[in-house]
Structure 1
Amino acid sequence: MRKEPYMKRIKDICSLTKSLAINDFKSKYAGSYFGLLWALLMPLVTIMVYWFVFEKGLKVSASADLNAPFVLWFVSGIIPWFYFSEALTTATHSFLEYNYLVKKVVFKIELLPLVKIFSAFLVHLFFIVILFSFFISYGYPISFFAVQIVYYTICNILLISSISWLTAAITPFFKDFSYVLSIILQFGMWLTPILWSVDVLSPHMIFLFKLNPFYYIVEGFRDSMINKIWFYEKYKLTLYFAFVVMVNFAISIKVFRKLKPHLSDVL
């Protein structure tokens, strides 16, 4: 008797999150003439600029280290980063943007960061299509290992979620935190092997860079599309990633619960 109301409650929460995410996605581009095109254009321009500079300008091409043409190796790493960066940034500002909902006692404000994460996910789906299009256009075979993209995307969502409840709760109290996050993300992109390979580093340095949880996702996308490696073959990294996400969730939930009663006072 108790199970049915609980499952109905979960279903209602999922339905509400889905509706808010779709509405957020539509409203974000409703006022612009080209709409969704802007969400795709800037990342695509970024990809083309890096591709031109590194492959055409610096003559970085296919090598034994990359196991594929540079542009395919690069796109496999930058596309999950685009999602991580966009989703985390928008989720961090979710309480500020939806302050009128935060002030409503009956609304579950825990859903707001998730709304932003799933709104950004709709754009990410387009980029997954673009990722496969790059491989097809280069004549690079797509194997069954590519189904792992689903797994690593879920890992990305979990990582973003585990951080966003913390950053979203802090931002209303320290509004300059958005600038801090922007700087962290800029450094984070260069400290993650998206534009370069960890193989150029010493074993000790490689170990340090693998402590970055996003390394697992970037390498996972490349393992799925290029290296043909199953995620369970890197079980140590998988366990480490799961541990980091669980610790992040524990810290985020604790801080969020402590700050939640005071959010309406600072918004």
Structure 2
Amino acid sequence: MFKSAKAILSELQSSKYLIMRLATYETKSNYSMQYLGFLWEFVTPLLQIAVYWFVFGFGIRSGRPIDGVPFLPWLVAGIVVWFFIAAAITSTARSVYSKIGLVSKMSFPISTIPAYVLLSLFYRHAILVAVSYVLMWAFGYPMGLHSLWFIYLAISALALLYSLALITSALTTIVRDLQNLLQSLMRMLMYLTPIFWVPTGRLAEVLQINPLYYLIEGYRSMFLGTDWLANNWAYGLYYWAIVLVLFFVGSMIHMRFRRYFIDYI
């Protein structure tokens, strides 16, 4: 297990420049044949946010704020990272079997495929975060020292999502039905994380088992300038323990099966 993790880290280190170049190419190629191009990265989430704001903010909550925060900035502060998480989990899960042709044309480790797909999605996420800060400023939540938490949260999110990608990209290459199961699971998790509502009491403790809870509340703390991240350092240790376990397990699964990937494709 440790040997596999060391091999994966070594491959990422030796291929870091290739990963960045492929991530840039992936970002450009996704919208190369569309008139609005990269603008779709803003149009699509803005439309979704508008619908959620209307349904949950006005329809269910009747415009009431949450802990003194207007519902729109509270919603955006949590949902911005969810857009990244959902896209990353589903895209990296199919990255190996959909891009395995690159391996036959270029010589680089398969472990870099989910890495560059994830990085290309992070580029778009970082821009959406910057746009979200404009909204926060309009509602009276300007950038400050608390904004530096983004560096930590970005590393945390990338570490978790890549660890998951090692597992899901290997398993979905072998059993394609898992991709559909994963998409359904993400739809369910969207409502089981504190994006649209605030869990309390025992329910909150149960939902915190999900490490995505930490990321969403962490981003909300970063945007709104609260002390949630600093006050929940123990939860942060739990989060990183989960990340390490997933990375070691994912590395083992990836190294065990990747020699057979081409046979399943």
Same fold per TM (> 0.5)? yes
Q: How does 1:125-164 map to 2 (within 5 A)?
A: 125-164=126-165
Residue 32 (structure 1) aligns with: 34
Q: Deviations over 1:105-156 (max 9, x none)?
A: 8421100001110110111012101210111122334332121122112111
Q: Is the 8 A contact 2:11 2:109 kept in 1?
A: no
Residue 257 (structure 1) aligns with: 255
Alignment equivalent of 1:46, drawn from 28, 48, 52 = 48
SS in 2 for 1:198: coil
**For residues 208 and 63 of structure 1, what CA distance do their matches in structure 2 show?**
21
Q: How does 1:89-100 map to 2 (within 5 A)?
A: 89-100=90-101
Residue 239 (structure 2) aligns with: 241
Instruction: Provide closer, same or farther for how the CA distance between residues 9 and 248 of structure 1 changes in structure 2, counting only shifts above 3 A.
Output: closer
**For residues 125 and 194 of structure 2, what CA distance do their matches in structure 1 show?**
20
Q: Deviations over 1:200-252 (max 9, x none)?
A: xxx32221111110111111112222252163431110100000000111111
Q: Is the 8 A contact 2:167 2:249 kept in 1?
A: yes
Q: Deviations over 1:14-48 (max 9, x none)?
A: 11100010011111111111111222211111001
Instruction: Please tell me whether residue 217 in structure 1 is matched to residue 218 in structure 2.
Output: no
Residue 5 (structure 1) aligns with: none
**For residues 47 and 238 of structure 2, what CA distance do their matches in structure 1 show?**
34
Instruction: Provide closer, same or farther for how the CA distance between residues 115 and 105 of structure 1 changes in structure 2, counting only shifts above 3 A.
Output: closer
Q: Which amino acid aligns with 1:32?
A: Q
Instruction: Provide closer, same or farther for how the CA distance between residues 236 and 103 of structure 1 changes in structure 2, counting only shifts above 3 A.
Output: same
SS in 1 for 2:31: helix
Instruction: Provide closer, same or farther for how the CA distance between residues 183 and 266 of structure 1 changes in structure 2, counting only shifts above 3 A.
Output: same
**For residues 107 and 206 of structure 2, what CA distance do their matches in structure 1 show?**
45
Q: How does 1:1-267 map to 2 (within 5 A)?
A: 12-58=14-60, 59-64=62-67, 67-103=68-104, 106-199=107-200, 203-226=201-224, 228-229=226-227, 231-267=229-265
Q: Which runs of 5+ in 2 are unaligned?
A: 1-9
Instruction: Provide closer, same or farther for how the CA distance between residues 184 and 10 of structure 1 changes in structure 2, counting only shifts above 3 A.
Output: closer
Q: Is the 8 A contact 2:66 2:74 kept in 1?
A: no
Q: Is the 8 A contact 1:91 1:168 kept in 2?
A: yes
Q: Is the 8 A contact 2:146 2:225 kept in 1?
A: no
**For residues 263 and 81 of structure 1, what CA distance do their matches in structure 2 show?**
30
Q: For structure 1, which segment, 116-125 or 54-63, has the greater mean C-alpha deviation from structure 2 after superposition? A: 54-63
RMSD: 1.9
The total of aligned residue pairs comes to: 255
Q: For structure 1, which segment, 175-184 or 144-153, has the greater mean C-alpha deviation from structure 2 after superposition? A: 144-153
**For residues 156 and 198 of structure 2, what CA distance do their matches in structure 1 show?**
21
Q: Is the 8 A contact 2:12 2:111 kept in 1?
A: no
SS in 1 for 2:203: helix
**For residues 63 and 29 of structure 1, what CA distance do their matches in structure 2 show?**
37
Higher relative contact order (CA 8 A, sep 6+): 2
Q: Which runs of 5+ in 1 are unaligned?
A: 1-7
When the two structures are superposed, what TM-score results if normalisation uses the length of structure 1? 0.90
When the two structures are superposed, what TM-score results if normalisation uses the length of structure 2? 0.90
SS in 1 for 2:218: helix
SS in 1 for 2:253: helix
